[in-house]
Structure 1
Amino acid sequence: MTPYGTFTFFLIAFIVLLPVIILGFLGKRSHIYNGLSTLFMIELIFSSTKHNFFDQPLLSVAFVNFIIYVVWQVLIIMYYWKSRFVKNTFSKFFMVITLSILPLIIVKVMQSSLLGTAQIKFHESKVVELIGFLGISYVTFKSVQLLMEIRDGSIKEIDHWKVVQFITFFPTISSGPIDRYKRFVKDDRVAPSGEAYRALVEKAIHYIMLGFLYKFIIAHLLHVYAITPLLMDLTGFTAKWLYMYAYSLYLFFDFAGYTLFAIAFSYLYGIKSPQNFNQPFKAKNIKDFWNRWHMSLSFWFRDCIYMRALFFMSKKRLLKSQFAMSNIAFSLNFIIMGIWHGIESYYILYGMYHAALFIGYGYYERWRKQHPPRWQNQFTTVMSIIITFHFVAFGFFNLFRETVLKHRRNLKVWNLKHKY
Structure 2
Amino acid sequence: MSQLLAALPFLTPYEKPFYFVLIAVTFIPSIIASLRGKRLLWYQNLLTVLFLWMGFAGPNISQGIALVAYLVWQTVVAQCYFRYRQTGNRAGWFYLSVVLSLLPMILIKLLPFVKEGQPFLYFLGYSYLTFKSVQVVMEIRDNLIKDFRWQHYLQFLIFFPTISSGPIDRYRRFVDELKKPPSKEDYVILLNKGVHAIFMGLLYKFIIGYILGKQLLPIAQDYALHHDMLLEGSIAYMYIYSLYLFFDFAGYSFFAVGTSYLLGYRTPMNFNKPFISHNIKEFWNRWHMSLSFWFRDYVYMRLMFTLLKKKVFKSRIVASNVGYFALFLIMGIWHGLTWYYVVYGLYHATLICLTDAWLRFKKKHQEKLPSNRLTHALAVVLTFHAVCFSLLIFSGYVDVLFKQLF
Normalization by structure 1: what TM-score?
0.89
Q: Is the 8 A contact 2:169 2:290 kept in 1?
A: yes
Shift of 1:269: 1.1
Equivalent position of 1:385 in the other structure: 380
Identify the residue that residue 42 of structure 2 maps to in structure 1. Answer: 32
Q: Which moved more, 1:280-289 or 1:394-403?
A: 394-403
Shift of 1:164: 0.5
Which residue, 161, 177, 187 being the options, matches 1:187?
177
Task: Find the counterpart in structure 2 of residue 223 from structure 1.
Answer: 213
Distance 2:361 2:398 in 1: 38
Q: Residues 21 and 269 of structure 1 are in contact (CA less than 8 Å); yes or no, is this contact kept in structure 2?
A: yes
Question: 1:404, CA displacement in angstroms?
Answer: 7.6
Task: Give 1:305 shift.
Answer: 0.6
What is the Cα deviation at residue 374 of structure 1? 3.4
Structure 2: how far apart are the matches of 1:388 and 1:162?
Answer: 41
Paired amino acid for 2:363: K
Q: For residue 303 of structure 1, what is the aligned residue in structure 2? A: 297
The answer as to whether partners of 1:339 and 1:347 remain within 8 angstroms in 2 is yes
1:13 positional shift:
2.4
Q: Which residue of 1 aligns with 2:121?
A: 131
Q: Distance in 2 between matches of 1:374 and 1:352?
A: 29
Contact conserved, 1:176 with 1:259, CA < 8 A, in 2? yes
SS of equivalent to 1:233: helix
Q: Distance in 2 between matches of 1:217 and 1:229?
A: 17
Aligned to 2:315: 321
1:338 to 314, 326, 332: 332
Q: What secondary structure sits across from 1:274 in the alignment?
A: coil
The AA in structure 1 aligned to 2:16 is: T
* Structure 1 position 340, deviation (Å): 0.4
TM-score w.r.t. the length of structure 2 is 0.92
Structure 2: distance between partners of 1:311 and 1:300? 16
Q: Summarize the alignment of residues 41-60 of structure 1 with structure 2, pairs less than 5 Å apart.
A: 41-49=51-59, 51=60, 60=61
Instruction: Give the Cα separation in 2 of the matches to 1:337 and 1:287.
Output: 15
1:162 to 134, 152, 159: 152
When residues 23 and 404 of structure 1 are mapped into structure 2, their CA distance, relative to the original with a 3 A threshold, is farther
- The percentage of aligned residue pairs carrying the same residue is 41
Runs of 4+ in 1 over 3 A off after TM superposition: none
Equivalent in the alignment of 2:7: none
Cα distance between partner residues in 2 of 1:374 and 1:69? 55
Q: Which runs of 5+ in 1 are unaligned?
A: 52-59, 121-125, 410-420
Whether the 8 Å CA contact 1:47–1:63 is kept in 2: the answer is yes
TM alignment of 1:359-370, pairs within 5 A = 359-370=353-364
Aligned residues: 388
Letter in 1 for 2:400: L
Partner AA of 1:101 in structure 2: L
* Contact 1:13 1:41 (8 Å CA) reproduced: no
1:80 matched residue in structure 2: 81
Aligned to 1:249: 243
Q: Which runs of 5+ in 2 are unaligned?
A: 1-10
Partner of 1:211: 201
Amino acid at match of 2:23: A
Question: How many Å separate the matches in 2 of 1:245 and 1:72?
Answer: 42
Deviates more, 1:38-47 or 1:373-382: 373-382
Structure 2 SS opposite 1:131:
coil
> Which position in structure 2 is the counterpart of 1:22?
32
